[in-house]
Structure 1
Amino acid sequence: MTDRTSPSPSAPSGPPDPPEPVAGALTTAPPRRPLRQLLAASVGNAVEWYDWYAYTFLATYIAGQVFPKSSGNSLVPLLSTFAVFAVGFFMRPVGGLLMGAVADRHGRRAALTVTILLMGGSSLLVGLTPTYAAVGVLAPVVLVLARLLQGLSVGGEFAASTTFLVESAGPGRRGLFSSFQYVSTSAGQLAASGVAAALVSTLGDGQMDGWGWRVPFVLGALLSLVGFWIRRGAYETRSAEQRAAERPGLFDALRHHPRESLLICGITAGGTLAYYTWTSYLPTYAELNAGIDKADALVAGTIALAFFALLQPVGGMLSDRFGRKPLLLFFGLGFALLSVPLLRSLGSSFASLLLVQCAGMVLLTGFTSISAAVNAEVFPARVRAAGIGFPYSLTVAVFGGTAPYVGTLFKETGHAGLFPWYVAVLCLVSSVVYLRLPESAHKELDR
């Protein structure tokens, strides 16, 4: 084996990009410059989720300009429903598969640069979407296209950044690096909320309806260029041997690793439902079922989300020391036992909602802080990104993306009390999967 510090004189030089390893160097070691690696993944991921959530926070203003209530065209309300509720989540599994394949065939860094440029372009497209008054039905068509591209990008981002983060970690630090997946996701969500709130409080309704709602999306496009620049200087984590090997086909992960693909679904199902319930739907659930004031619900949600982001590295470090299974079971069994009493204890006060939301965030950290590491440790390096991307994004679309609608449906049919049981049962199912998982925290990662 060639000494790392004294490579063979006959070894051919690598590409001109300095981070690329030279032939003959050890390729099983984690990449250099770990802080740069974390920054490349985290900043890009935060920008991705800023763009994604900005649409959610400003959907009311967008609808007023692009989907008028009285248009005389039956296509408009149909396209409105499709764009707002379905397109983004529908495209995430496709993005996970396609961008995961790019990451496996051409490298993680290549996929990361593609996803952030795709998100920047789609964000700019949202910001420049013409009004219905100006171009008619073309306006919602443009917005639907933008959401298609955003969903494709977000699905691909998880596949690429998950593998990139975990493969960038040094020995005994995969859990810690994994935790920054949700640190950056929460940062993007908080930034989108803050920018939207600042604009709404500064501009009048006329200005927000006219041009103010476009500002966050143009800003998101500019931030994407910053993320692109940072990612271009990151170290490629896919080893020289993997890059030289035969490139995997689009469906190789599903065809050759069906058990692992189903395992990703089982690992993710309870976690994604609990995540979207506690981070996105809980304020609305409290308004509908406990009568809490809307403003109080939004403030409590913001505080809880910041608290959640701070918890993630703690969970990652605990998993590196004590293993993945204890944290996963802490999450799964905790939600299975406490979802119903927590949601039933919601009162109409701010303190009640904040306490319930923060309690859930503590439990949720057992899943979110290490999900990237757990998923990456399931698949071999050759098909890791696509192997994670498709089943994970599909499960999120089926269980996570539908959480608000299932909860609202239970309420409308007079069975609001069933929703907490739905969360509890699905988390119990995932707990069974966690019990059967082999402990992988202290095993060497296939590179």
Structure 2
Amino acid sequence: MTETITTTTRPAHPIRQLLAASVGNAVEWYDWYAYTFLATYIADQIFPKGSGNSLVPLLSTFAVFAVGFFMRPVGGLLMGAVADRRGRRAALTVTILLMGGSSLLVGLTPTYAAAGLLAPVVLVLARLLQGLSVGGEFAASTTFLVESAGPGRRGLFSSFQYVSTTIGQLIASGVAALLVNTLSGGQMDGWGWRVPFVFGAALSLFGFWIRRGAQETRDPLREKARPALFEALRLHPRASLLICGITAGGTLAYYTWTSYLPTYAELNAGISKGDALLAGTLSLAFFALLQPVGGMVSDRFGRKPLLLFFGLGFALLSVPMLKLISGSFVSLLVVQCAGMVLLTGFTSISAAVNAEIFPARVRAAGIGFPYSLTVALFGGTAPYMGTLFKEIGHSGLFPWYVALLCLLSSLVYLRLPESAHRELDR
């Protein structure tokens, strides 16, 4: 089947495009991480231990371990299809409104004491919608960012995917910390935990306003026939598998270094929770600054050198780096920052690499489903795998697990054709 190539020109205002994608993405991830940072307060109000109802702990487990990550592939497929069939801007508008609505729903969720079993049901529904939104956001914003870039700038624009994600995470952490340190325990339990979610809903309206002024990067109405829901998987199975292979090691390393490492240091090196969180925050800020540098390097020298720098670097250094973590704050900060440098070889260009694999007709859905599925399988389970190894008395195996998966992804990178200097299919 021959792909139909549209003649859509590059946007006249690329910086405005970059702002529309980045602001919206930061808001999306602020809402997603706010739940993570405030989960203990939510659990106390929505899933009380003494409820005496066997369905409550079941729903709690379902919400925490399954709903968030495993709705993301569905979101990637559905919102990716919207982006391919209705346009990238339409999908970006839907995802940010969906995230804003689900964030407001979390903020307004009744307590178990007030509504009984309805409370956890409402919260699970909100997390379903959040997972759907986040999965769709990556599919739509990836294609939008890369298609908005001028010649020789796709890597640079791609890097803002993780710049904005990290900013959203840092804002969520800062808002949560401010509330916890300002309000009393009773106030946090009563209403304080709701504030970040209502604030997130308001931020989503701001993101929606920004995105309304963005220029569409590809007009699907020029196609004689719009792509079917599973067309990307059916006609491009090799490309779909490539996305999985490219992403597996990267998502495991990303969630290990950005989310799980503070907990790993607490469990295995005896570092205090305060020091672990401070090291994590500082390294995340450092990580955000590195992303545009990685993107520009890839535009100059290609995608493969950076991917191999990441993959082989983690394959060789994951074990020694994690063994270097002692009981000191400095050791953790050094290891986290060193890992962030290596990780930038993947994160700064993953959006560009993914977008350059698929033709424009099915680019968003083609990226969204396999990417989000791989993140759910390997990234979302990273903390649980680390904890599992610890519980069975073999915590030293977790670094080898990270190294092995990064080595397998490196084999994919070796066979990947260089795409940095090719014209992007539009």
Q: TM-score range by the shorter chain?
A: over 0.9
Which residue is 2:388 aligned to?
409
1:376 to 2:376 alignment = no
Q: What is the CA distance between 1:398 and its match in structure 2?
A: 0.1
- What is the correspondence of 1:164-179 to structure 2 with a 5 Å cutoff? 164-179=144-159
Determine which of 231, 234, 243 is the counterpart of 1:252.
231
Q: What is the CA distance between 1:239 and its match in structure 2?
A: 4.0
1:399 to 2:387 alignment = no
Scaled by the length of structure 2, the TM-score of the pair is 0.98
Find the aligned partners of 1:110 and 1:352 in 2 and give their Cα distance.
Answer: 46
Which residue is 1:99 aligned to?
79
Equivalent pair of 2:8/2:218 in contact (CA under 8 Å): no
- What is the correspondence of 1:46-445 to structure 2 with a 5 Å cutoff? 46-239=26-219, 243-445=222-424
SS at match of 1:377: helix
Find the aligned partners of 2:219 and 2:68 in 1 and give their Cα distance.
Answer: 33
Letter matched to residue 286 of structure 1: A
Find the aligned partners of 1:239 and 1:145 in 2 and give their Cα distance.
Answer: 33
**Structure 1 unaligned residues grouped into runs of 5+:** 1-25
Find the aligned partners of 1:367 and 1:172 in 2 and give their Cα distance.
Answer: 18
Equivalent pair of 1:107/1:243 in contact (CA under 8 Å): no
SS at match of 2:325: coil
Q: What is the CA distance between 1:85 and its match in structure 2?
A: 1.6
Equivalent pair of 1:162/1:376 in contact (CA under 8 Å): yes
Q: What is the CA distance between 1:246 and its match in structure 2?
A: 1.1
Find the aligned partners of 2:99 and 2:8 in 1 and give their Cα distance.
Answer: 32
Percentage of matched positions with identical amino acids: 87
Deviations 1:265-286 (A, max 9, x none): 0000000000000000000000
Which residue is 1:17 aligned to?
none
Find the aligned partners of 1:40 and 1:247 in 2 and give their Cα distance.
Answer: 26
Find the aligned partners of 1:67 and 1:90 in 2 and give their Cα distance.
Answer: 21
How many residue pairs are counted as aligned between the two chains? 421
Deviations 1:53-73 (A, max 9, x none): 000000000000000001010
**Structure 2 unaligned residues grouped into runs of 5+:** 1-5
Find the aligned partners of 1:219 and 1:84 in 2 and give their Cα distance.
Answer: 22
Letter matched to residue 102 of structure 1: V
SS at match of 1:248: coil
Structure 1 segments of 4 or more deviating over 2 A? Answer: 26-29, 242-245
Letter matched to residue 117 of structure 2: V
Deviations 1:270-317 (A, max 9, x none): 000000000000000000000001000000000000000000000000
Q: What is the CA distance between 1:28 and its match in structure 2?
A: 4.8
Find the aligned partners of 2:74 and 2:134 in 1 and give their Cα distance.
Answer: 10
Scaled by the length of structure 1, the TM-score of the pair is 0.93
Find the aligned partners of 2:149 and 2:219 in 1 and give their Cα distance.
Answer: 14
